[in-house]
A and B are shown apart, each in its own frame.
Chain A
Amino acid sequence: MSLIARMPSAVKICFVILALILFCAVFAAPLAPYGPDDTQLRERNTPPTMFKGSWAHIFGTDALGRDIFSRLLHGTKISLSMAAVGLTVGGTYGVVLGLTAGYFGGVWDKTVLALVNFQQSVPYILIVLLFVVVFGRSIPVLMVLVGMARWETYAKLLRNIALSVREKQHVAAAVTYNASAFRIILRHILPEVRSQLVVLLMLNFPAVLLLESSLSFIGIGVQPPTATLGRMVGEGRTALMTCPWVAVVPTIVIVTLSYCIQRIGEWARDELDVRMDMGGAR
Chain B
Amino acid sequence: MGNRMIKYLLRRLAVGFITLLGIVVLVFFSSRLTGSPIEAMYPDGLEPGQLELFNAKYGFDKSYADQFVIYLKNLLHGDFGESIRERRDVRAILTARSLETLRLGVWAFALSVTCGISLGVCIALNRESFAVSIANNVMALLFSIPNFIIAIFLMLLFSFKLKILPSQGGGSALHYIMPVACFSLGPTISIAWYVKNGILETISQNYIRTAVAKGLGKARTIIGYAFRNALIPVITQVGMVIVDIVTGSLVIETVFSWPGVGYTLVNAVLDRDFPVVQGIILFLAGIVIALNFLLEILCMMVDPRINREAAA
Contacts and interface: CB of A to CB of B under 8 A. Distances in A.
Interface of A: 114, 117-118, 120-126, 129-131, 133-134, 206, 209-210, 213-214, 217-220, 230, 233-234, 237, 240-241, 247, 251, 254-255, 257-259, 262-263, 275, 277-282
A228 B214 CA distance: 57
A131 B33 CA distance: 9
B160 A241 contact: yes
Q: A123, A213, A240, A263 — which one has the most chain B CB atoms within 10 A of its CB?
A: A123
A255 B250 CA distance: 21
A133 B269 contact: yes
Interface in B1-58: 15, 18-19, 22-23, 27, 30-31, 33-35
Nearest to A280: B190
A131 B26 CA distance: 11
Contacts of B288: 120-122
Interface string B144-158: 111111001100100
B143 A218 contact: no
A17 B284 CA distance: 41
Given A120-B240, A121-B285, A230-B146, A277 B189 contact: no
Contacts of A257: 144
A206 B140 CA distance: 10
A126 B281 contact: yes
A214 B254 CA distance: 12
A123 B247 contact: yes
Contact of B270 (A133, A134, A275): A133
Contact of A129 (B22, B23, B269): B269
A210 B144 contact: yes
Contacts of B141: 255, 259
The B interface, classified by DSSP as helix, strand, loop or mixed, is helix
B239 A120 contact: yes
A251 to B, nearest CB: 6
A279 B143 contact: no
A124 B288 CA distance: 13
Which A-B residue pairs are the 3 nearest by beta carbons?
Answer: A280-B190, A258-B144, A279-B194
Contacts of B237: 279
A129 B266 contact: yes
23 contacts: A114-B22, A117-B15, A117-B292, A118-B19, A121-B285, A122-B288, A124-B247, A130-B31, A131-B30, A210-B147, A213-B146, A214-B250, A217-B251, A218-B250, A240-B156, A241-B156, A241-B160, A275-B201, A279-B190, A279-B191, A279-B240, A280-B186, A282-B190
Nearest to B292: A121
B152 A240 contact: yes
Contacts of B148: 213-214, 217, 234, 237
A130 B27 contact: yes
A255 B197 contact: no
B205 to A, nearest CB: 11
B193 A280 contact: yes
Q: A125, A134, A280 — which one has the most chain B CB atoms within 10 A of its CB?
A: A280
